[in-house]
Amino acid sequence: MSVNIAIVDDEEMIQWTLKESMESEGYNVKTFENGRNFLSFFKEHGADIVFLDVRLPDSNGLDLLPEINRIDPETIVVVMTAHGDVETAVSAMKLGAYDYLAKPYNIEEVNLLIKKIIQTNLVKSQLQHYQERLESHFSQILGENYSIKILREHIAMAAKTDHTTVLIRGESGTGKELVARQIHFQSGRADKPFIDVNAAAVSGTLLESELFGHEKGAFTDAQKQKKGLFELANGGTLFLDEIGDLDASLQVKLLRVLQERKFRRVGGTSDIHVDVRIISATNANLEQKMQEGSLRKDLFYRLNVFTINLPPLRERRDDVVLLAKSFLNEYRKEFSKEHITGFSEDALKLMQAYDYPGNVRELRNIIERAVLLETTNLIRPASLPDELKNNMNSVEFKNIKTADSETVNTKNDIGVKENNNSNDLLSPFGDDKPWHKPGFNFKDYIDSVEKHVVEEVLKETGGKKTKAAEILGLTRFALRHQLKKHGMVVD
Ligand SMILES: Nc1ncnc2c1ncn2[C@@H]1O[C@H](COP(=O)(O)OP(=O)(O)OP(=O)(O)O)[C@@H](O)[C@H]1O
Ligand SMILES: [Mg+2]
């Protein structure tokens, strides 16, 4: 989890000092000089914490509070008031602000406040996450590429040995977290917590108390004893994300947990024993980090017991269509745009040719955006981002029409499975409904329709399977399966 902070203040000096200091703590910071600019950004991207000045050039900050709340009630707002303006501070709190800061404030005070917010909300959101995971743990790992089939086998193996430490490696967006979750939910620990911690998002000392908890009085802010995530994950799985960013003292402490399955809370004097499986993930080059001396070798070997490497999407391009369709299905429902039934052929070509530096997450985002933008029944190149269209210059895409002149060629367009057009499905029968004929068998009937359609399409493509699969909206694997199933020749 990275922390996104928005500062809404028209005084440049304040914007600058706050931004500098927050960024040095590793937070993502955006600044806005008026309410309008902020709101338009916030509607689209949201923020975890908003520092909101009450006196803005175009509005009163307090007037924005209900709007922020309406857009995202989870967002935490800290209102910045003039010194001694108690009335405004009180109104802000009544309107749902988390806290207020009286100007002039010192940077230390701001930093402490942010840490307090993260600390109280991190654990809360971890537990909430856990709840969500329980509900969504069957979110599938999609893909028919050979590497994904092997991956599924590896996940099953890792799940079986539920004490084995697992290291998941792969570029950003390749599905590391998804895999970690699958391992947990297929393992004997499934009904115990799955807790994820991002080592890069929280600074060293704070992360230490997050992970291991602290005793009352361990440091200035420790007003009461707090359990760490290791204790909360007891019996379950702790997912340590971005493990390459762990600082030196935490590496020692983690090594001890891995070796001895025990640790001490910050400021604590007795050992606490836990039974937690550790799954870590990274997109960093750990070998290089070891060479540079920023990662302990002994820790690396302890983490790297069972390694799972996730392939970048560009190395399994044959899965792009399948993933894209699944995301389309998801977003068309979410955004109530169920009239979008598939992709134009040109859009598909662009999607298959692109390299996806952000991997599956990038593809997901592309489809989300396209569903929002698309006004016709098919996702066309016009709704795809420019990066994909850069490929248009290559010879293969010369024929793709530009956004304005584009026409939709429904004959060859490829759609998602449509569930709600039952009229279309039934209408071909007219009065001659096959299920009223004697000896009708549903399964046999569907099989014969499948076979018939596949045969017809193959005839149309002169036996070219890749083209046939494209027309049918199947992957090559799925088409092969159809051919085998119906006893047709497979080469
Ligand atoms: N094989 C897959 N099938 C379906 N969805 C996938 C697959 N791989 C990744 N995704 C989706 O892609 C998005 C990114 O996945 P995830 O967060 O697991 O990636 P990550 O490797 O942890 O990325 P990062 O390094 O940026 O943290 C998620 O929405 C996830 O559901
Ligand atoms: Mg991740």
Q: Residue 462: what pLDDT?
A: 81
Q: What is the helix (H) or strand (E) element at residue 5, kind and residue range?
A: strand 4-8
Same domain, residue pair 173 and 186: yes
Same domain, residue pair 141 and 288: yes
* Spatial CA neighbour of 354 closest among 401, 317, 398: 317
How far apart, in whole angstroms, are the C-alpha atoms of residue 86 and residue 219? Answer: 30
Q: What is the DSSP secondary structure assignment for residue 34, as one 8-state letter?
A: S
The single-letter code of the amino acid at 290 is M
Same domain, residue pair 268 and 191: yes
Contacts of 160 (CB under 8 A, 6+ apart): 187
Domain count, the chain: 4
Q: What is the helix (H) or strand (E) element at residue 227, kind and residue range?
A: strand 226-227
Helix (H, G, I), strand (E, B) or coil at 126: helix
> 325 CB under 6 A from ligand 1?
no
Give the Å distances, CA to CA, from 18 to 23, 50, 76: 8, 12, 17
Helix (H, G, I), strand (E, B) or coil at 47: coil
How far apart, in whole angstroms, are the C-alpha atoms of residue 278 and residue 183? Answer: 11
Same domain, residue pair 162 and 264: yes
Q: Are strands 306-309 and 213-214 parallel, antiparallel or unpaired?
A: unpaired
How far apart, in whole angstroms, are the C-alpha atoms of residue 482 and residue 107? Answer: 65
Give the Å distances, CA to CA, from 181 to 21, 24, 137: 35, 32, 7
The backbone torsions φ and ψ at residue 81, rounded to the nearest 5 degrees and listed phi first, read -115, 165
> 170 CB under 6 A from ligand 1?
yes
Same domain, residue pair 164 and 180: yes
- Measured from the Cα of 326, ligand 1's closest atom is 4
**What CATH code is carried by the domain that includes residue 23?**
3.40.50.2300
- 385 upstream amide cis, omega within 30 of 0: no
DSSP3 helix / strand / coil % (the chain, rounded to 5):
50, 15, 35
**What CATH code is carried by the domain that includes residue 343?**
1.10.8.60
Range of the domain at 377: 313-420
* Residue nearest to ligand 1 atom 30, measured at CA: 175
Mind listing the pLDDT tens digit for each residue in 431-463? 567 777 777 777 777 888 888 888 888 888 888
Same domain, residue pair 399 and 361: yes
**What CATH code is carried by the domain that includes residue 149?**
3.40.50.300
Give the DSSP letter string of 182-205: HHHHHSTTTTS-EEEEETTTS-HH
Contacts of 419 (CB under 8 A, 6+ apart): none
Give the ligand whose atoms come closest to the C-alpha of residue 358: 1
> 473 CB under 6 A from ligand 1?
no
Radius of gyration of the chain (CA): 27
Same domain, residue pair 360 and 324: yes
Q: Are strands 4-8 and 237-241 parallel, antiparallel or unpaired?
A: unpaired
Residue ranges of the chain whose pLDDT lies below 50: 137, 395, 401-412, 417-427
Looking at the domain assignment, is residue 62 inside a domain?
yes
* Contact by Cβ (8 Å): 142, 152: no
> 178 CB under 6 A from ligand 1?
yes
How far apart, in whole angstroms, are the C-alpha atoms of residue 175 and residue 152? Answer: 12
> 360 CB under 6 A from ligand 1?
yes
Cα of 404 from ligand 2 centre, angstroms:
38
How far apart, in whole angstroms, are the C-alpha atoms of residue 249 and residue 254? Answer: 9
- Measured from the Cα of 141, ligand 1's closest atom is 3
Same domain, residue pair 321 and 412: yes
Give the ligand whose atoms come closest to the C-alpha of residue 323: 1
Looking at the domain assignment, is residue 195 inside a domain?
yes
Same domain, residue pair 301 and 172: yes
Looking at the domain assignment, is residue 131 inside a domain?
no
- Measured from the Cα of 148, ligand 1's closest atom is 1
Pocket test for ligand 1, best of 2, 144, 177, 316 (most atoms within 8 A of CB): 177
Looking at the domain assignment, is residue 379 inside a domain?
yes
Same domain, residue pair 348 and 277: no
| Angle ∠(82,87,90) on CA atoms, nearest 5 | 105
Give the Å distances, CA to CA, from 258 to 146, 206, 244, 254, 273: 33, 20, 16, 6, 11
How far out from the chain centre does Cα 204 lie?
24
Same domain, residue pair 322 and 296: no
Whole-prediction pTM: 0.59
Q: Residue 414: what pLDDT?
A: 53
Question: Across the strands, what pairs with 273?
Answer: 262
* Residue nearest to ligand 1 atom 13, measured at CA: 361
Looking at the domain assignment, is residue 490 inside a domain?
no
- Tell the residue number behind the tokens 């994950």, with chain if given: 233
Cα of 241 from ligand 2 centre, angstroms:
6
Q: Residue 403: what pLDDT?
A: 42
Q: Terminus-to-terminus CA distance in the chain, angstroms?
A: 48
Q: Residue 424: what pLDDT?
A: 36
Cα of 179 from ligand 1 centre, angstroms:
8
Same domain, residue pair 144 and 279: yes
